[in-house]
Amino acid sequence: MLQFMRARLLTPMRWLLVFSLAIWSTIGLMLCASVTAQSFTTLHSFSSFSGSTNSDGANPFAGLLSSGNILYGTSSGGGGSGNGTVFALRNDGNGLATLHDFTGLNEGASPRAGLILSGDTLYGTTTLGGRSNFGSVFALRIDGTAFATLHHFTGLSDEGFPSAALVLSGDTLYGTTVGGGGSGSGTVFAVSTNGANFTNLYAFTPTTVSSPFSNNDGAWPLGALTQSGNTLYGTTSSGGVPGNGTVFAINKDGTGFSILHTFTTPSSYQNTNSDGAIPRASLVLSGDTLYGTTAFGGFFGGGTVFALRTDGTGFTSLHHFTGPSDGSEPRTALVLSGNTLYGVANSGGTTGFGTVFALSTNGMGFTTIYNFPRPDGEPHQFYSDLSFTGGTLYGTTLMHGSGGNGTVFSLSFPPQLTITSSEGTTVVSWRALYAGFDYTGFTLQSTTNLGSPVWENTPPPVVAGGWIAVTNPISSAEHFFRLSQ
């Protein structure tokens, strides 16, 4: 008989399919088995508090920066002073190192944004702390030395509370603040990597004093800027005439500010509209098209994935989140790989606690590729952007884990493996494309012993109709198969 046992991850790009093969005695007997394997791995759980401090940080809001086999990130709390940390760990989850513990007033506190890397230097922001407690811009070497505060926000003309990652062009860092003094609606700023030449490129205008907090240009940018040539693109989470946020563009010298899209007013029934509302994340650019998410609005009130051209034309809602099947409330940036967009919905799905999803840039082929499990207590709150490296997605959770203070995780997606058997042969097949991943470059290998395996390539595959199939002779020996790249 043929007995399917399991599929599990061997390495980030090798999956094991285990089954035993024996000769079929009944002519024409067929068996078909299918497996969808997902490998979700908690790489690190931030430790529990002793008071408000711990050894490794707590509650990471931001996504991860991947460089080689090292992941760099920030935690908004914990650490030796309770003000957050910069950390690094290997992408296999080993060797976490705290590169910096924030002290508060002299440096900054509560970093809620991701990091960028230039040479051997990391750059980032803190949302609080600094000399006026309105946040800071900092630099730090990847070995944890040479920490420097490049700018202390005052809450006056330079506003404050930066919550998004920086972008780097030449020796200039560009970023946004959410609010503070001045208009209270946030800014776009620039500062040199040595801390000189801080410039407010644009200050968003004041909003109305009550909901829907409308103005003409947008307010409270929460996502990072996206650059192309001399232009910066971004979103605001509020403002615009209906008060539901905008997509904007501005030149790097502060000129040429323009609104590319203003999100429309949701109807009074379940806050639905045609284009979405309240974008909280940065945009991703491919060619002349920007892609993003809204946390609310859309046909079902659960948010949207959208696309528009860099000149503001061609706005398209690629997906409207329904909630139970696909998730809702996407708050994070999309990741683009080839023609596939990946993202996280913060709630909904089969458990109600969020999903990881994929869809093509043309809006086709939406797939819910992971439903986050239901935790005990509060939701995971997946506010962090994903990063994509070597066929694996990496991210953080704000809460939960063994210490209750959040986690770093990885998520890999082996293809769906199908087994069909008839007299004398068995066929192992998988999709050439699965969840947006391209598996045409994989080889099926087999061995008869997992104790000291000698892996051998199986017969050449046949590719047809979007499937890759390998025909194997059935023998009395147990065989173990894996996909390898």
Q: Which residue has the tokens 């490296």?
A: 389
> Which has the minimum average pLDDT: 86-90, 289-293, 383-387, 444-448?
383-387
For 284: left if phi > 0, alpha if psi spans -120 to 50, otherwise beta; the answer is beta
At residue 443, the pLDDT reads 83
Residue 16: predicted pLDDT: 52
Q: Which tens digits make up the pLDDT trace of 305-314?
A: 999 999 999 9
Cβ atoms of residues 304 and 317 within 8 Å = yes
pLDDT of 224 above 70: yes
Confidence band for 483, pLDDT divided at 50, 70 and 90? confident
Whether 253 and 199 have beta carbons less than 8 Å apart is answered as no
DSSP-derived 3-state class of residue 102: coil
Q: Which residue in 397, 478, 287, 365 sits closest to 45, CA to CA?
A: 397
Task: Note whether 455 and 412 are within 8 A (CB).
Answer: no
128-152 confidence digits (pLDDT tens): 999 999 999 999 999 999 999 999 9
Is the separation of the CB atoms in 394 and 64 below 8 Å? yes
Structure confidence at residue 236 as a pLDDT band (50, 70, 90): very high
DSSP percent split of the chain into helix, strand, coil, nearest 5: 0, 50, 50
> In the structure, what pLDDT confidence band is assigned to residue 450 with cuts at 50, 70 and 90?
confident
Taking residue 450's Cβ as centre, other Cβ atoms within 10 Å add up to: 11
Please compute the mean of the pLDDT values over residues 3-13 and round it to a whole number.
35
Q: What are the domain boundaries of the chain? A: 3-37+415-484, 40-412
The mean per-residue pLDDT over the stretch 399-417 comes to: 83
Topology at the third CATH level for domain 40-412: Neuraminidase (2.120.10)
Strands, E assignment, 241-314: 246-251, 258-262, 284-286, 289-294, 304-309
